[in-house]
Amino acid sequence: MKIILSDAGKRFNREWIFRHFDYQFFSSRAYAITGPNGSGKSTLLQFIAGALMPSEGKIAYYNLKNKPETEFFRFLSIAAPYIETIEELTASEFFKFHNQFKPLMSGMAVSQILERVGLKDAADKQIRYYSSGMKQRLKLAQAFFSDTPILLLDEPTTNLDGPGIAMYHELIQDFAGERLLIISSNDPMEYSFCQTVLDMKGLKSMGV
């Protein structure tokens, strides 16, 4: 799996978030996108996810078995604070619904997934009644246990307590090794294991 950004740029109104960005991301590697709040970390991650269109340049995804662009979303999963869950559903219902358009990992039952992220006892509880930490566990579970070669994480330990943070690192250890992993964060605890760190300050200086 490979993602190539060619002379890529994104702006809002007249402000360039990044510009003239050339880069290649490869499978079995972990990348961190760092920088202070407001530097554009989440914008770049959403750009890579295909949620934002480029203002200039292009992004290409390779080894997707000749799938059309409209199918790219099936090959990546993302967890982020701004991504909403369906709060009228229970966690079990949520994963069964999700599985209809983005398959879960083979051999992983919903009950096993919920147990792995500490939500087994809340499987039949509506998500609207979850705490913020429980919702974050659910978002991470959705991302990690979707059968996708690309895993994108934006501030992955948001609202997690100590045991939740430990769970996050266990998921990284057990389920991220062969994937193309990109983490947006300004907290080294969330990305210290990444082989490559991209600083948004450096990206901004390329085109501004």
Q: Determine the 3-state secondary structure of 158 from DSSP.
A: coil
pLDDT (tens digit, 9 = 90+) per residue, 88-99? Answer: 999 999 999 999
pLDDT (tens digit, 9 = 90+) per residue, 56-65? Answer: 999 988 876 6
Q: Nearest 5°: phi and psi at 44?
A: -65, -40
| Assigned CATH topology for domain 2-207 | Rossmann fold (3.40.50)
Question: What residue spans define the domains of the chain?
Answer: 2-207
pLDDT (tens digit, 9 = 90+) per residue, 88-139? Answer: 999 999 999 999 888 999 989 999 999 999 999 999 999 999 999 999 999 9
Where would I find the H helices in the chain?
A: 41-49, 91-98, 110-116, 132-144, 162-175, 188-191, 200-207
Dmax (CA) for the chain in angstroms is: 51
- pTM across the whole model: 0.92
pLDDT at 207 over 50: no
Torsion sign, CA atoms 151, 155, 158, 163: positive
pLDDT at 140 over 50: yes
Cα separation values, 156 from 33, 69, 116, 166, Å: 13, 27, 16, 12
